Structure 1
């Protein structure tokens, strides 16, 4: 089964349909006039009449459908339909009775159409306004017009019809009702016109329709012998029905006057209508006197009384409305005045010649000055503290702009204070309500200060107030560009605070913040006024030095290290920190970020070299940094990946050559890089902050191994296990707890654990190091001072840092040749240790004559390749088994399976 689709036709605008309907009604009226002259009372005239009246009914209901079934439109369409039905009933009545002059069923329907139309007009007027007083005034206007029109139609026809005794009472009443209903419709039309919306032409169509009906009804009363369709009377009724059908369509608005001018014109017209209605009764009396009509003084008096009463009520409403409007105006003026008084804005109206056209008190309130009478714009400019030339230029721009807004934010100086105001100028000289240039003034000082603060926070560090990395990079770029024009060079000094993490973790974040602020203050004091100090991030700072030579940056770096090394007090405790410094020098051929990166590389090299160092950038540092960063990346997963292991180097007593302990040494076998020596990866791990976690693992592993050996090889005697502690570990607040946990987990006696520290690690922060060593001794562990004789060795350190073992560095031992005596420095170190009651241990013993000389010099213990290389755990256990067998005489001594045999006592 196929489906036929019908394409909808184009939509015809309602305005076009209205004009078509009015035009069609005019053509039909002209046609009926011709038929009245040529074929009066014929069937042709009747057919045309009913065809047209049927078309008006269809058009009216089509308008209802277009308008969404509005109640007013429905009532109008019902009225048009009832009028058409009444025409049909009247035609039937004439056909059956031969006369249509007496009252009959058709009149009931006709009058019903009037009622429907009156209801529709009332709904239209009610929809046009929601104000109660306006609705009451509209009803009064309608009553006034109704009374005036009723007086006219009464005197012209209704009085004669009512007094015609040849007609029945019902007929006379019915005939009198038609013009009275027309008068009521005209009154409602006036009410609708008084309250109609702007551009609504519906009331005009209704007014024309009611006028046509009234004319036909009056003519019918004056010529009651008119019979049949097609005459002049029918043309009036037909045209009225067509216009009412047009009124049922959706309203069409047109642009027109609006606002106060339209309201004023509407109110004036309504007042004219009311006052003109008072002239209708006396004018009608004069007309009757001139034409010899019946005296109507009673009617005139009664109508004048009614009209005067209605006009009085209407005037009272007008007065009340005016009083309400004045009260509202005064309330709005007070409201505006209060808003202005408490507003942060001021509005001035300035004439083209500079005169002030309004009160300048809001400007005084805005500026916080006593109210002053200002006459000209120059007075206002002087009061505000604005530059007169700038004010004149803005005013001239506003005049040239011809109504366009000219705005600007300008600085003012008021009472010695720098402020900002925003001004908006609009030339409204052509506006009769303004007549000048409107100057809108707003105090934007708070916003500008907030913007400045925001800009400062974007480019500065919030904790220290120093420049941040963004601003620092910009300053470096500017300095490098200046070297192109003026010569010289720019240098970046990159500074990292050694030991900041220990302070932050040990004393808390508040102490860490205080340390950073103190470092910032010392850096400011150490540099020149035109140098830029910045906090790059964390505990890293940078200084921009613009120099004419190549020594100023190095001198600045020296001053920085000097001022930061001075002790400071944090959280009630003395703290000493050091600084690692990197220096990079550049000229206009390098970029800002490149120069900053070079200084960071130099800083990284200083940290790898042991901290508390200063390094100047060299190109080879890039390769070193890449290698270090590669190591760092690999190190970050090494511990979790199980890539670390420990080897154990025996410690031998020089008197009996018996193994008294081991030193645990860390080894790293990287899956990608292969075996990496401690001298390479330990500095990188310390610089990257990984040494704490790695050191904790070494402690746990070494303690567990030593405890197992004590348990499984008791025959070898009590053994010690030495573990190296780095400078970063020594500064960690978790070190003591970590060692205590390792001892507890393994069950190793504390006296069997020896912690080896270097003097370099101790002298960075001596007070804190001494406190840490005291806490470690409280655990019962033994302490060894490693690499003694190099670097910072001094008796003061031995007195300050209480230790148990003094280790002679391998550099002093390995240089002892065959046949030479024991070097004086070695002999002095051994004597010093014995005097202080310390065990003395020599490192790097590789030859028998070295061991013999050390033993003759009363050195206690030694370690080196002469005895054994660092051993894997299984090989170290084999050595312990061999030593245990030697101590049992009944068991033959087995040959050593690892390294060189250890001679028995």
Structure 2
């Protein structure tokens, strides 16, 4: 019978078999073997034992076929399964031939299948022996090992069996050939198994299982040779074939080991002493056979001589391979040593080995090259420390730390000074005195001067302004904190003086950013020159600077003096790129002690600076607690303002506009009101600027437009007798210059159905002069829609005549401040009369606001003013009350508008 070859390499990309399955298969194979052996020993009769044998062999074939068809099975397992199947087929044919057909003789058709199974198994085992991680030299060594074992095994088989079989004249030539092939096949299997076991990977159990399987078959073959015949299955001799078949089936289920890395061409231990011992032991076989044959009265003859010569040649070839492998290994070692030496020679690092007495055990040339001296100048580490100019005490402490670390790596740095130059050396040491390969302390030295310089530069960059070189906000805050700590220990105060340039944006816009950068650089130089050497000057961002002033007393004298000096040096013209530039500044001052933080003191100075900006150019303000309260109130107002529109907290009230001739209502002005649940009623003079600063005025203004237009359109439809009723809405400066104002008005008119001529947009002179070009473009687009425009607060600010020439409007509103000067019994003031005459001359409607007394209305009517609004006629009304005025006016066409009294409202610029 023939053993079955083991499974080959795993198929690439296949799904792995669960690791527990091969163990289960091996356990099943063991259980089947036990059943077969017990069946042969205990079952009565040859038929029962033969049936048990054939059943177990059939199961072995099934296991082998299933194992070879797994996803992760190696290709060689198919040969293993085929070998097991051929052996089982031979068993079946032999049984049919000798039992059912009653044939006799030595040779039968089953021998063809059995011998074929030997060849197939040998091929499978040979394929398993060729791993992916073996080089050509290793494969050749494996071939030689296998042939050595084959020659020795064939010699033994020749002396024990083959020679007698060939010379047996009682057998036919076919019988002698077939019977001689069995021991030869066993010898070939032995050689292949030796090759397989010798080249197996660590952790791979397949060669061991295959070796045991072949040993079982070899046992049965040898016993069969010693017996005179066999009439059927079931004897203990057949148990070897049975167990071998099961083990070979289990080979197909054993998972392969992970392939070894690519070979380097150097024998890695698989050609070690064990394999060399096998080759040398084979040389002993021919003389041993010769001695045994001589003691038995026979002669080994030519076979022993031929095998001796073959073995000698093979062993010589094997030894030559070992020598070549050793030569390659030595060459590889030399190459790696040269590679490491060249790397060390061209490396900026130095690695040396010293003993505990600090004497060099290795070549000090790398360290000498790093220090720029000859190697002969370095005998001990003390020489290197002295030449480098390092602190001997620190170096000694570092060395002692390494000795105490007990083999742990210790890192550190040493600052050196040689030839007037500071250098930093990175040191890395480890005590490997107890290491048999090193036997010393490894010292690794690296020049880290460039890295330390880069770190210092990075720290400087992170703490200083890149343009002016002044301290930035981070460093300035730290300096202020340190100054405040000093006031706790030594008394005195710390003052922060903040400076903000006036007109810097205009310089950037007109002369360019490059000139602006030069201006900032020159300003920084002047600020540094104007303060004491121990004062810190910083650029906080943009055109804002700050100075830290430490004062011995509790007052502000030194800080005020510094602020005045800063303003004085900044008023002098600055020459920038051939252009003379004059700048002014606003200054804020805050003084504190250790009971405040650096951040709060700088914030206080910023609050004072904001107050100084509001005072105009060249203003200086000192911080007082009221500024913080005002700032907190502003932040609270902005916080409450966000989301107020979505929460429905805004509403509109409507103040009637009446004609002075008959005092009938011709329109309304929509005024915005806000009642905050937390802050209560807030006047427009507070929340409108806050909404502009927070960027909310656009959204709020769009809502006002929609609401006012919708209300006016509804009134015009419900009260047609009211005539061409108009609605006036205030537009802020931020709305006037925004890109979406025209679209918002167009949408509001379209959605409400209000005619464009019924909408009056009121703009102030201040809004017009903030950005005249954008304002003029917006007014032109608005007039194209058909809406009317009113110039509010006329005469209170800038050159009104110039505005009337530049901006085309429809209505001229006389400010309440002029109307309030019209006292009882006096004539109309000249400025009011002049405004009315100007409006008449230009063909504009003139409207007076803030009319509170009847004599004011009478004088305005006599002066031919068209219309008016104010408390004399009506206060701002809620929507139902305003509509009630329209109803009352419609019911009594000749009646004047009622005059309700109440608190004076604050008008809304929104």
TM-score range, shorter chain: 0.5 to 0.7
1:150-178 per-position Cα deviation (integer Å, ceiling 9, x unaligned): 01100111011011121111111111111
User: Which deviates the most, 186-195 or 264-273?
Assistant: 264-273
Q: Residues of 2 paired with 1:114 and 1:87: CA distance? A: 14
Q: Residues of 2 paired with 1:240 and 1:690: CA distance? A: 106
Q: Residues of 1 paired with 2:409 and 2:106: CA distance? A: 76
Q: SS of the residue aligned with 2:129?
A: helix
Q: Residues of 2 paired with 1:616 and 1:552: CA distance? A: 13
Partner of 2:881: none
1:842-862 per-position Cα deviation (integer Å, ceiling 9, x unaligned): xxxx99xxxxxxxxxxxxxxx
Partner of 1:176: 180
Partner of 2:363: 359
Distance 1:565 1:281, change over 3 A: same
Choose from 853, 856, 877 the match for 2:839: 877
Partner of 1:825: none
Contact 1:699 1:742 in 2 (8 A): no
Q: Residues of 1 paired with 2:430 and 2:240: CA distance? A: 58
Partner of 2:296: 291
Q: Residues of 2 paired with 1:389 and 1:208: CA distance? A: 70
User: Which deviates the most, 173-182 or 566-575?
Assistant: 566-575
| Matching of residue 279 in structure 1 with residue 284 in structure 2 | yes
Q: How far did residue 313 of structure 1 move?
A: 2.7
Instruction: Please list, as runs of the form range in 1=range in 2, the aligned pairs for 1:204-603 lying within 5 A after superposition.
Output: 204-251=208-255, 263-264=268-269, 266-293=271-298, 295-367=299-371, 369-371=373-375, 374-382=378-386, 385-549=389-553, 550=555, 551-603=557-609
Distance 1:355 1:51, change over 3 A: farther
Q: Residues of 2 paired with 1:694 and 1:633: CA distance? A: 20
Partner of 1:804: none
1:334-380 per-position Cα deviation (integer Å, ceiling 9, x unaligned): 33233333334333344455444433433344455554564544445
Q: Residues of 2 paired with 1:878 and 1:690: CA distance? A: 24
Distance 1:528 1:94, change over 3 A: same
Q: Residues of 1 paired with 2:833 and 2:363: CA distance? A: 98
Distance 1:46 1:430, change over 3 A: farther
Q: How far did residue 527 of structure 1 move?
A: 1.4
Distance 1:624 1:149, change over 3 A: closer
Q: SS of the residue aligned with 1:126?
A: coil
Distance 1:875 1:24, change over 3 A: same
Q: SS of the residue aligned with 1:156?
A: helix
Q: SS of the residue aligned with 2:272?
A: helix
1:812-869 per-position Cα deviation (integer Å, ceiling 9, x unaligned): xxxxxxxxxxxxxxxxxxxxxxxxxxxxxxxxxx99xxxxxxxxxxxxxxxx996324
Q: Residues of 1 paired with 2:551 and 2:314: CA distance? A: 100
1:115-137 per-position Cα deviation (integer Å, ceiling 9, x unaligned): 12112101211135442221122
Q: SS of the residue aligned with 1:466?
A: coil
| Matching of residue 199 in structure 1 with residue 203 in structure 2 | yes
Q: Residues of 2 paired with 1:612 and 1:351: CA distance? A: 74
Q: Figure out how many residues of one structure are paired with residues of the other and give that number.
A: 688
Q: Residues of 1 paired with 2:696 and 2:218: CA distance? A: 110
User: Which deviates the most, 407-416 or 450-459?
Assistant: 407-416
Q: Residues of 1 paired with 2:528 and 2:626: CA distance? A: 31
Distance 1:556 1:354, change over 3 A: same
Q: Residues of 1 paired with 2:308 and 2:780: CA distance? A: 126
Choose from 154, 158, 163 the match for 1:154: 158
Partner of 1:94: 98
Choose from 600, 609, 619 the match for 1:613: 619
Distance 1:635 1:126, change over 3 A: closer
Unpaired runs of 5+ residues, structure 1, are: 1-9, 644-667, 674-688, 705-720, 727-738, 747-845, 848-863, 883-893, 900-905
Contact 2:67 2:249 in 1 (8 A): yes
Contact 1:77 1:245 in 2 (8 A): yes
Partner of 2:770: 693
1:83-128 per-position Cα deviation (integer Å, ceiling 9, x unaligned): 1221121122222565665222100000111112112101211135
Q: How far did residue 399 of structure 1 move?
A: 4.7
Partner of 1:777: none
1:217-262 per-position Cα deviation (integer Å, ceiling 9, x unaligned): 2332343334333334323323332332332222476999xx9999
Distance 1:180 1:374, change over 3 A: farther
C-alpha RMSD of matched pairs (Å): 4.3
Partner of 1:868: 831
Q: How far did residue 535 of structure 1 move?
A: 0.5
1:29-86 per-position Cα deviation (integer Å, ceiling 9, x unaligned): 5774x56xx97x8334323433433343344345435573322222222212221221
Distance 1:440 1:215, change over 3 A: same
Distance 1:147 1:330, change over 3 A: same
Contact 2:368 2:378 in 1 (8 A): no
Contact 2:138 2:271 in 1 (8 A): no
Q: Residues of 2 paired with 1:82 and 1:185: CA distance? A: 16
Contact 1:492 1:585 in 2 (8 A): yes
Q: Residues of 2 paired with 1:880 and 1:93: CA distance? A: 136
1:183-218 per-position Cα deviation (integer Å, ceiling 9, x unaligned): 111111111122110122322222232233233323
Distance 1:316 1:672, change over 3 A: closer
Q: SS of the residue aligned with 1:868?
A: helix
Contact 1:128 1:195 in 2 (8 A): no
Unpaired runs of 5+ residues, structure 2, are: 1-17, 635-684, 705-728, 735-765, 782-794, 809-820, 845-860, 867-910
Contact 2:395 2:414 in 1 (8 A): no
Choose from 14, 37, 40 the match for 2:22: 14
Contact 1:634 1:670 in 2 (8 A): no
Q: SS of the residue aligned with 2:221?
A: helix
Q: Residues of 1 paired with 2:234 and 2:558: CA distance? A: 119
Q: How far did residue 288 of structure 1 move?
A: 0.8
Q: How far did residue 692 of structure 1 move?
A: 6.7
Distance 1:243 1:898, change over 3 A: closer
Q: How far did residue 503 of structure 1 move?
A: 2.4
Distance 1:701 1:349, change over 3 A: closer
Contact 2:199 2:270 in 1 (8 A): no
Contact 1:22 1:246 in 2 (8 A): no
User: Which deviates the most, 207-216 or 104-113?
Assistant: 207-216
Q: SS of the residue aligned with 1:70?
A: coil
Instruction: Please list, as runs of the form range in 1=range in 2, the aligned pairs for 1:803-814 lying within 5 A after superposition.
Output: none
User: Which deviates the most, 327-336 or 366-375?
Assistant: 366-375
Contact 1:584 1:602 in 2 (8 A): yes
Q: How far did residue 391 of structure 1 move?
A: 4.1
Distance 1:354 1:638, change over 3 A: closer
Contact 1:484 1:587 in 2 (8 A): yes
Q: How far did residue 591 of structure 1 move?
A: 2.6
Q: Residues of 2 paired with 1:331 and 1:361: CA distance? A: 20
Partner of 1:142: 146
Contact 1:868 1:898 in 2 (8 A): no
Distance 1:161 1:583, change over 3 A: same
Partner of 2:135: 131
Q: Residues of 2 paired with 1:274 and 1:441: CA distance? A: 52
> What TM-score comes out, normalization by structure 2 length?
0.67
